[in-house]
Amino acid sequence: MPSTDTGAEHGNALPILNEIRHALARLLESGETSVIDLGALPMGPQDEAELLAALGEGEVEATIHAGGPSNVRETAFHGVWLLTHRNEAGETLARFIEIAFVPELLMSQAEDVADSAAELAKKLSEAQNR
Amino acid sequence: MPSTDTGAEHGNALPILNEIRHALARLLESGETSVIDLGALPMGPQDEAELLAALGEGEVEATIHAGGPSNVRETAFHGVWLLTHRNEAGETLARFIEIAFVPELLMSQAEDVADSAAELAKKLSEAQNR
């Protein structure tokens, strides 16, 4: 297949787009989520740029302010998310594609919610006994 | 209860904080999510400011670029999210507190994921037959 810069063909991005297609099918069938580590793939910067161009941009963009900031970007394909982890200097440490209804990183974990519920109950109890 | 500006006491925010406490308990017990429409409550700007100060800020911040932008902010209490809907001029249209593991607005809907899966399959089929 010829590789062009038109964006109409995706060269080395094709195998990953195929993997994403299978992951979307699994998500719809069983709710199973998948994560693809872009750093673990034999892709050059040009391949990665082609992949990201093929995936496009969706409506949701999120930042997680925890240590180095992480960025979550919905792609133009619902259920396909691009995650970028950076260090405190802003350098990209890792990039992942997550195929999920919502990336794990955006969800509150049950243990954390339980801690927060206990903390709020304590604060309210203090305020009401004041 | 005396109302102060110290943030240590929450005056008119207390009933809503209590409602949030109950909603967190429901979330943990049954997974049921709750939404509180701040515009539907008898709160002045000062009450709302007190409530938001009491809730604090968490790690996750998200923007949904769909029509007027919507903003989702995790509060310092895991599972408690502040949603702000704006019009295209940037004016606040509505504010909600959502008690959920993740706000509905951040999740891809199954029908949309199915559409995207079909679209990706079609694109790949075209690329592979080229």
Strand locations in chain A (E): 34-37, 60-64, 70-74, 80-86, 92-99
Instruction: Look at A10-19, A70-79, B5-14, B107-116 and tell me which has the smallest mean pLDDT.
Output: B5-14
Residue B36's pLDDT band (cuts 50, 70, 90): very high
Distance CA B62, CA A101 (A): 16
Q: Which residue of B has its CA nearest to A13?
A: B124
Mean pLDDT of chain A: 89
| B63/A62 CB distance under 8 A | yes
C-alpha angle A54/A107/A116, rounded to 5°?
A: 160
Q: Which of B10, B79, B128 sits opposite A127 (nearest CB)?
A: B10
Residue A16 has pLDDT above 50, yes or no: yes
- SS3 label, residue A8: coil
| B28/A113 CB distance under 8 A | yes
Residue B1 has pLDDT above 70, yes or no: no
Position B90 scores a pLDDT of 85
Provide the chain B residues 34-73 that lie in CB contact (below 8 A) with chain A. 54, 59-66, 72
Stretch A101-125: mean pLDDT: 96
Residue A59 has pLDDT above 60, yes or no: yes
Residue B99's pLDDT band (cuts 50, 70, 90): very high
Stretch A92-109: mean pLDDT: 95
Residue A124 has pLDDT above 50, yes or no: yes
Residue B59 burial class via C-beta count within 10 angstroms: exposed 0-12, middle 13-18, buried 19 and up: middle
**H helix intervals, chain B:** 14-30, 45-55, 110-128
User: Considering only CA atoms, which of B7, B50, B43, B37 is closest in space to residue B99?
Assistant: B37
Stretch B61-71: mean pLDDT: 90
Domains of chain A: 13-128 (3.30.1370.140)
ipTM value for the complex: 0.85
Residue A61 has pLDDT above 90, yes or no: yes
Residue A89 has pLDDT above 90, yes or no: no
Joined tokens for residue B48: 């709302």
Distance CA A111, CA A31 (A): 22
Of residues A78 and A40, which shows the higher confidence score? A78
DSSP A54-87: HH---SEEEEE-SSS-EEEEE-SSTTEEEEEEE-
A-chain CB neighbours of B106 within 8 Å are 60, 62, 102, 106
Stretch B49-61: mean pLDDT: 94
Provide the chain A residues 91-110 that lie in CB contact (below 8 A) with chain B. 100-102, 106-110
Stretch A57-62: mean pLDDT: 96
Q: Is A114 on the interface with B (CB under 8 A)?
A: yes
Backbone angles phi, psi at A67, to 5 degrees: 65, -135
The 10 Å CB-count burial string (b at 16+, else e) for A79-88 is bbbbbebbee
| B77/A119 CB distance under 8 A | yes
Position A6 scores a pLDDT of 42
